[in-house]
């Protein structure tokens, strides 16, 4: 999956998305007039005060249609329903409003709409969590419920035209979501830093995102009223998304996608459970160990000059961060039975090996290696 267009000797950085952030960013919506707008979201947000905040900023000259049936791990069925509404209402503007599932669902509609209509649609992403970075990426993860497999789609048509990061939308996130999505940010940044298509440009974004996670994630988790930490984590999520959009992801996400599909565990939590095991596996390659060690120093979790010690300190930081945010550390703690693991392990490993994220992993991995990692996190 090419996160960067071009051949092996050329890298093409595409900055299509306009980004509006911090307080009152939603007012940007007032510039839209006389359009047919489809808002794609979930039923909880559709009935919440957050939807009222968005609607208050949309000019009355527009016609607004709301699709509110998005579920965690958006499926092909959901995309089909929303696509039918898009076609029926002759939509001009799509707003993906919510967590990664809502924005990914909106992207799925845009992806498949190209097959049935040549109409250009203006795409706005408004995240209500600080984690996926989906508002600045050209990828979407869609689940096939028949096969229980997650597919990663990629097209620059899915890159939002506008991303609105308004901190009023993330002030009252539940602690569990802050923890899961925050660790997702860290995983994005780390995988981008060792990604196949990494560059100094993506490194800078990954480093800053990691630095902000170190400084602000636990603060955001601990204190709902710490607005500064909410703002900085929202920006960290966006920067980590931009980093992996360019550099690619890898083994961690490939396995996490398929564990989430088979065992119904939230994506950010899956990434967190896997993270230290994947770092350990990749660090067997000396060049990758050096990358992880350098990253640990850059984001401020160690001053160790020895690479092995620095990587160990990075893993200790991750483990402590998860512990103080009361996150499950294993599949067992997520109430996955040993029988269920044995039943699904082979299929998870096979599907992970086919996952598009593997294409941008620097390190190669075998199906037996994946099975061993899955066993290690039980």
Whether residues 22 and 136 share a domain: the answer is yes
CATH number, domain of 68, equals: 3.40.50.1970
Question: Do 179 and 118 belong to one domain?
Answer: no
H helices of 47-99, where? 49-55, 76-88
Position 13 confidence tier, pLDDT thresholds 50, 70, 90: low
Contacts of 47 (CB under 8 A, 6+ apart): none
- How many domains is the chain partitioned into structurally? 2
Query: 30: closest CA among 149, 164, 155?
Result: 164
Same domain for 150 and 209, yes or no, is: no
Q: What is the reported pTM?
A: 0.91
In a domain, 4, yes or no: no
* Residue 287 belongs to domain spanning: 175-377
Least confident piece of the model among 47-56, 112-121, 175-184, 245-254: 112-121
In a domain, 262, yes or no: yes
Task: Check whether residue 194 and residue 332 sit in a common domain.
Answer: yes
180 in the same domain as 165: no
In a shared domain, residues 252 and 113: no
86 and 206 in a single domain? The answer is no
Tens of pLDDT, residues 46-94? 999 999 999 999 999 999 999 999 998 888 999 999 999 999 999 999 9
What the block records as the tokens of 26 is: 């939603």
Domain termination site, one of 110, 139, 169: 169
pLDDT digits (tens, 9 = 90+) for 298-327: 999 999 999 999 999 999 999 999 999 999
Q: Flag whether 60 is in a domain.
A: yes
State whether residue 122 is helix, strand or coil. strand
Specify the DSSP element, H or E, that contains 320.
helix 307-324
The CATH number of the domain holding residue 298 is: 1.20.1090.10
pLDDT value for 118: 81
Domain end marker among 118, 149, 169:
169
One domain for residues 202 and 318? yes
289 backbone dihedrals φ, ψ, rounded to 5°: -60, -40
- Judgement on whether residues 215 and 335 belong to the same structural domain of the protein: yes
Q: What is the pLDDT of residues 82-138, one digit of tens each?
A: 999 999 999 999 999 999 999 999 999 999 998 888 888 999 999 999 988 999 999
Do 26 and 159 belong to one domain?
yes
Which among 141, 169, 197 is the end of a domain?
169
Structure confidence at residue 7 (pLDDT)? 44
9 belongs to a structural domain: no
Q: Is residue 5 part of a domain?
A: no
The answer to the question of residue 366 being in a domain is yes
C-alpha to C-alpha distance for 34 and 137, rounded to whole angstroms: 28
pLDDT of residue 22: 78
Are 232 and 88 members of one domain?
no
**pLDDT tens-digit readout, 322-347:** 999 999 999 999 999 999 999 999 99
Q: Are 136 and 160 in contact (CB under 8 A)?
A: yes
Answer whether residue 13 is part of any domain.
no
Cα separation, 280 vs 187, in Å, equals: 14
Asked if 135 and 62 sit in the same domain, the reply is: yes
Cβ atoms of 360 and 197 within 8 Å: the answer is: yes
C-alpha to C-alpha distance for 355 and 188, rounded to whole angstroms = 16
Mean pLDDT over 156-163 rounds to 94
CA-based R_g, the chain, Å: 20
Give the burial class of 31: count Cβ atoms within 10 A of its Cβ; 0-12 exposed, 13-18 middle, 19 or more buried.
exposed
Please say whether the dihedral angle defined by the alpha carbons of residues 272, 15, 50 and 221, taken in this order, is positive or negative.
Answer: positive
Q: Is residue 11 part of a domain?
A: no
First CA to last CA distance, the chain? 30
HSE-CB of 308 using CA atoms within 13 angstroms: 1
- In the numeric block, the tokens 């539940």 are attached to 174
The string of pLDDT tens digits covering residues 259-306 is 999 999 999 999 999 999 999 999 999 999 999 999 999 999 999 999
């Amino acid at each position: 999956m090419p996160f960067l267009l071009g051949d092996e000797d050329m890298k093409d950085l595409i900055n299509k998305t306009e980004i509006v952030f911090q307080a009152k960013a939603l007012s940007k919506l007032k510039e839209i007039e006389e359009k047919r707008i489809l808002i794609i979201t979930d039923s909880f947000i559709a009935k919440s005060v957050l939807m009222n905040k968005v609607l208050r900023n949309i000019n009355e000259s527009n016609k607004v249609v709301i699709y509110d049936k998005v579920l965690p791990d958006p499926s092909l069925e959901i995309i089909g329903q929303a696509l039918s509404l898009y076609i029926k209402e002759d939509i001009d503007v799509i707003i993906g409003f919510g967590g990664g599932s809502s924005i990914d669902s909106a992207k799925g509609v845009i992806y498949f709409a190209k097959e049935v209509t040549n109409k250009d649609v203006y795409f706005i992403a408004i995240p209500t969590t600080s984690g996926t970075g989906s508002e600045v990426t050209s990828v979407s993860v869609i689940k096939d419920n028949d096969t229980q497999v997650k597919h990663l789609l990629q097209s620059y048509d899915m890159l939002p035209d506008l991303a609105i990061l308004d901190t009023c939308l993330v002030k009252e996130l539940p602690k569990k979501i802050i923890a899961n999505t925050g660790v997702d940010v860290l995983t994005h940044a780390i995988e981008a830093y060792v990604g196949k298509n990494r560059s100094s440009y993506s490194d800078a974004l990954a480093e800053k995102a990691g630095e902000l996670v170190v400084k602000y994630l636990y603060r955001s988790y601990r204190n709902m009223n710490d607005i500064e930490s909410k703002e900085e984590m929202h920006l960290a999520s966006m920067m980590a998304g931009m980093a992996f959009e360019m550099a690619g992801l890898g083994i961690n996400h490939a396995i996490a996608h398929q564990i989430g599909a088979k065992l119904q565990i939230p994506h950010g939590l899956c990434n967190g459970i896997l993270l230290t095991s994947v770092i350990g596996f990749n660090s067997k390659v000396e060049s990758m160990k050096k990358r992880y060690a350098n990253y640990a120093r850059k984001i401020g979790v160690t001053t160790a000059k020895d690479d092995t010690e620095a990587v160990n300190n990075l893993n200790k930081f991750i483990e402590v961060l998860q512990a103080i945010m009361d996150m499950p550390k294993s599949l067992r703690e997520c109430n996955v039975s040993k029988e269920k693991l044995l039943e699904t392990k082979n299929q998870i490993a096979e599907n992970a090996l086919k996952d598009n994220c593997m294409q941008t992993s620097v390190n190669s991995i075998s199906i037996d290696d994946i099975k061993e990692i899955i066993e290690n996190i039980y």
